[in-house]
Amino acid sequence: MEKKNVLSGIQPSGVITLGNYVGAVRNWSLLQQEDRFCYYCVANLHAITVRQDPTELKRRTRAMAAMLLACGVDPKRSALFIQSDVPEHSQLSWVLNCYTYMGELSRMTQFKDKSAKNEDNINAGLFTYPVLMAADILLYRSSFVPVGHDQKQHVEIARDIAIRFNNAFGETFVVPEPLIPNLGGRVMSLAEPTKKMSKSDPNPNAFIAFTDDQKTIMKKFKRAVTDSEGCIAYNPQTQPGVANLLSIFCIFTGKTMDEALAYFEGQGYGHLKTAVAEAVIETLTPLRLEYERYLADEVYMETILREGAKQARTLAQKTLSLVYDKVGIGI
């Protein structure tokens, strides 16, 4: 059976949160199946659309790779690499820029959102960001791209670019499909449960970080916003804080919502918060310890990332060479 390729990347914009883990990263290990080969990259080229401290960016890039390994990315079944170590990403991106329309890019939601947040740095890279993402995907003949609902638009524009190029030059790219995992609910902010948990939240009590220790996790959950209703019920509209805690409990225990509600029947919010914290701690603590072990082993990390980039470049070079030949700039 021919393997289907999967591509996914994550920016080294800081420590992953509980929301990142549930919504994306924990699923990466599950995608490593016999009929698939996964290409996983730390997307440091995407990160520089926002001004970065160079030393800190390098540190976070290596730390993110260690987190992915700790979360189950297996170098024997996947290629784990740093995006900038595979120059074909940037090279293909330029060609695809020439087959992408300004109107398409101007409609991208992320450009609008990031422009609003970075009014003093609305740069061309921010505008053409989706083209580099399309290059990431199309380089590896990716059949599937695991994304959340908010990233689906990027896969759609990659599909449009691939189809346009194929129509002009014949079959060149695999047209990718978005792969939206259905493996758990959305994790909301512990401080403002009507909005998504985010590592950029100025309130550190609003999110659980991958590197938080047991004491910190317990403290943050005990400070989680609930309400004055006083009863544990799942109603995201009227009791968003309680609903968020219940969802997290179900995700980390494997219980259904009905089972969770039965478990907490007659209990108070304090018991709910403690139980959720304990469930999260049980999962995250061994992962955090693994992360620290990987990060401390510089030789191993260097070897894994070098081999991952070498493996990625084997296919990336073939794809780029084919594209160059099609457009008339190949040797």
Nearest to 95 by CA among 155, 164, 44, 144: 164
What is the pLDDT at residue 143?
Answer: 93
| Structure-block tokens of residue 131 | 């083209």
What is the pLDDT at residue 147?
Answer: 81
Nearest to 227 by CA among 272, 281, 265: 272
CA angle 213, 215, 216 (to 5 degrees): 65
| Residues ≥6 apart with Cβ < 8 Å to 326 | 165, 169, 170, 172
Tens digit of pLDDT per residue, the chain (331 long)? 567 999 999 999 878 899 989 888 888 988 888 788 999 999 999 999 888 999 999 999 999 999 999 999 999 999 999 999 999 999 999 999 999 999 999 888 777 677 667 677 788 888 999 999 999 999 999 999 988 766 788 899 999 999 999 999 999 999 999 887 664 567 999 999 999 998 888 899 999 999 999 999 999 999 999 998 889 999 999 999 999 999 999 999 999 999 999 999 999 999 999 999 999 999 999 999 999 999 999 999 999 999 999 999 999 999 999 999 999 997 6
| Structure-block tokens of residue 189 | 């902010």
8 Å CB contact between 28 and 179: no
Say whether 219 is catalytic. Answer: no
For the chain, the domains span: 4-184+298-327, 204-292
What is the layout of strands, in order, in the sheet containing 78-82? 78-82, 36-42, 4-10, 142-146, 177-179
Say whether 199 is catalytic. Answer: yes
Query: What's this model's pTM, rounded to 2 decimal places?
Result: 0.90
| Structure-block tokens of residue 330 | 């190949």
Say whether 76 is catalytic. Answer: no
Fold classification of 204-292 is Tyrosyl-Transfer RNA Synthetase (1.10.240)
What is the pLDDT at residue 41?
Answer: 96
What is the pLDDT at residue 184?
Answer: 54
Which of these is catalytic: 4, 152, 195, 199?
Answer: 199
- Other C-beta atoms within 10 Å of 229: how many? 13
8 Å CB contact between 210 and 260: no
- Other C-beta atoms within 10 Å of 254: how many? 8
Which of these is catalytic: 58, 196, 222, 255?
Answer: 196
Fold classification of 4-184+298-327 is Rossmann fold (3.40.50)
